[in-house]
Structure 1
Amino acid sequence: MEGVFAKKFQARETIPLIAIEYRSAEGQTELPLLVADLLRRQVALIVGNTPAALAAKATTTTVPIVFVTGGDPVRAGLVASLNRPGGNVTGVSFITAELGAKQLGLLRELRPGAARIAVLVDPKWPLTERFVSEVRAAALAVGQELIVLDVRSDREIETAFTTLVQRGAGALLLGIGAFMSSQRGRIVALAARHGIPAIYSWRGCRGRRSDELRAQH
């Protein structure tokens, strides 16, 4: 750690009691207000996903910010570089946006006869455009037909599954983002119900799928 992080957190002999303030936004427009509220409470550290970290970065240059992102933090505008993020922002990246092409390849190996592969994404997530772009490029290179479906709510997830079944999708690739992750139980259950092989970005989905299948019998 360097800069603000070093000054704030290094060389402490004892660890004080820590109060954790949780905040959750219904939409990204609420994030600046939530960040402002946390700053009024004089928090020592802000932890959040990509949109939350960007909102915090735009608001303060002194309070340390730790992000957890599924994409490239440099492209997202979170840090200047991976080796030396600089400023008051650091974090962890799973680079899931760039893994879309690899996931498509694995799905094609598992379902070589799938003429169409559905891709379920949240269009509001900042890294979705990058994710879809990577998947489309990989599909174009091998002549794979895609069915890209946007979902923004529980109801749209149900509708999307009806659509992909009607259009003959032989497999399913799940997009990234907080909403998609929060709906993973529903998505896994629907994929199992319709008998559609799917590849996920989250650990634990294999167990969830087995539980859902057992619950149906």
Structure 2
Amino acid sequence: MGAKLARRPVFVSCREQRLFHGLPPQVALDSAEFRQPPLFSDWAARRRRAATTPSRLSLDRYTTAIRSSGAGMRRREFITVAGGFAAALPFAARAQRDIPVIGFLNTASPEPYARLVQAFRDGLGETGYAEGKNVAIEYRWARGEQDRMRQMAVELASRRVKLIAATGGSTAALAAKAATSTIPIVFQIGVDPVEVGLVASLSKPGGNITGTTIIAVQLGAKRLGVRLQIVKASSEPDIGPAFSELQRLQAGALWIGADPLFNGLSEQLATLSVTHKIPAIYQFREFAAAGGLASYGGSITDAYRQAGVYSGRILKGDKPADLPVQQSTKVELILNLKTAKLLGLALPPALLARADEVIE
């Protein structure tokens, strides 16, 4: 029937237009099908089919109620007709409305975080969930505006999502915790969650919250025997001028402090460091892989994947209080030999031997 409707116009009288007003589109189309000018080849088949077509029977009951019971019966009969057709909707369409929804909260912008979001989806996939099939994700990106986090967390909580994935730093996690004490929260941060007040302990987080953490590697200036100059960048537009300031200071090297703002900008940071001839090191492998000189720290990609795994487990019934906080314990040294040559640096053989990976 659907194919015929797509090829032939539907003719509806003025009286029928009033009758169909307010009906679901499929009800109106199924009923109006009997007003189409029949082709002689299928006229007899249509007449036989009309006697048992649900839409025609429903329409007959509806028009009978209008004629015999007046306006008082119209609304009740309409609800019956509409309800009958709603029950006949394909199961997949109704099931789509019932799938769990995850609220994804992040302090940064979506574009640089695409690979990390994919890592989160990969973790969900390990527990049997696929976005758009049996789970939906509502994304909220603060785009570096930290003061928006609380409002967005409250908004997600008011939508009664099944879980909030608070990623991109402690600001998102604390905002989610303040917004709800009942909706499960899975965080991904780079600081000690006990120290900032997110959980009671790593092994027994308690409450409605758990997650993954990467403790940032700290290199003290005194330990390194160098003089430290701090150059700040609080937003993406600040990064270019910050490198110009580094060049003015004649900086001999750059240690990029771990921050959600920088996590998704590895390629930009790596390019600027090479352009300004400044050897630079960051915590995550993605920086070295994008062309930075070196990285030293844990894997943020794996942390997002593990956050996805925890999210899937919680959707399946696990309690956040029973899931210990996953902490990155392995520290990796990644060196980019190609970048070292561009910067005119000869990396010592002993350092190359200690590296977990050398990118050539």
Deviation at 1:64, TM superposition (A): 0.6
1:76 aligns with 2:196: yes
Which position in structure 2 is the counterpart of 1:169? 251
Deviation at 1:153, TM superposition (A): 2.8
**Cα distance 1:22–1:154, how it changes in 2: closer, same or farther (>3 A)?**
closer
Q: How far apart are the structure 2 equivalents of 1:41 and 1:153? A: 29
- The equivalent position to 1:154 in structure 2, one of 236, 245, 254, is 236
Deviation at 1:142, TM superposition (A): 5.0
1:150 is paired with a residue whose SS is coil
- Name the aligned partner's letter for residue 172 of structure 2: A
- Name the aligned partner's letter for residue 42 of structure 1: R
Deviation at 1:19, TM superposition (A): 1.1
**Cα distance 1:17–1:83, how it changes in 2: closer, same or farther (>3 A)?**
same
Q: How far apart are the structure 1 equivalents of 2:248 and 2:191? A: 32
Which runs of no fewer than 5 residues in structure 2 stay unpaired?
A: 1-127, 293-335, 343-360
Deviation at 1:205, TM superposition (A): 2.2
Q: 8 Å contact 2:236–2:261 — kept in the other structure?
A: no
- The equivalent position to 2:162 in structure 1, one of 28, 32, 44, is 44
**Cα distance 1:95–1:172, how it changes in 2: closer, same or farther (>3 A)?**
same
Equivalence map 1:62-101=2 (5 Å): 62-96=182-216, 99-101=217-219
1:147 is paired with a residue whose SS is coil
- Name the aligned partner's letter for residue 174 of structure 2: L
- The equivalent position to 1:35 in structure 2, one of 144, 149, 153, is 153
Deviation at 1:73, TM superposition (A): 0.8
Deviation at 1:40, TM superposition (A): 2.1
**Cα distance 1:40–1:146, how it changes in 2: closer, same or farther (>3 A)?**
same
1:22 is paired with a residue whose SS is strand
Deviation at 1:90, TM superposition (A): 0.4
Q: How far apart are the structure 1 equivalents of 2:258 and 2:190? A: 7
Q: How far apart are the structure 2 equivalents of 1:48 and 1:195? A: 36
- The equivalent position to 1:201 in structure 2, one of 270, 283, 287, is 283
1:71 is paired with a residue whose SS is coil
Deviation at 1:140, TM superposition (A): 2.9
**Percent sequence identity over aligned pairs:** 39
Q: How far apart are the structure 2 equivalents of 1:19 and 1:153? A: 30
Which position in structure 2 is the counterpart of 1:121? none
- Name the aligned partner's letter for residue 166 of structure 1: R
2:137 is paired with a residue whose SS is coil
Q: How many pairs does the alignment contain?
A: 163
1:187 aligns with 2:304: no
Cα deviations by residue, 1:182-217 (Å, 9 ceiling, x for unpaired): 22221110101122111111222223117997xx9x
Larger radius of gyration: 2
1:17 is paired with a residue whose SS is coil
Q: How far apart are the structure 2 equivalents of 1:148 and 1:188? A: 18
Deviation at 1:143, TM superposition (A): 3.9
1:47 is paired with a residue whose SS is strand
**Cα distance 1:193–1:169, how it changes in 2: closer, same or farther (>3 A)?**
same
Q: How far apart are the structure 1 equivalents of 2:150 and 2:193? A: 19
Q: TM-score, normalised by structure 1?
A: 0.68
**Cα distance 1:142–1:174, how it changes in 2: closer, same or farther (>3 A)?**
closer
Q: 8 Å contact 2:266–2:286 — kept in the other structure?
A: no
Q: How far apart are the structure 2 equivalents of 1:17 and 1:74? A: 33
When the two chains are superposed, the root-mean-square deviation of aligned CA atoms in Å is 2.4
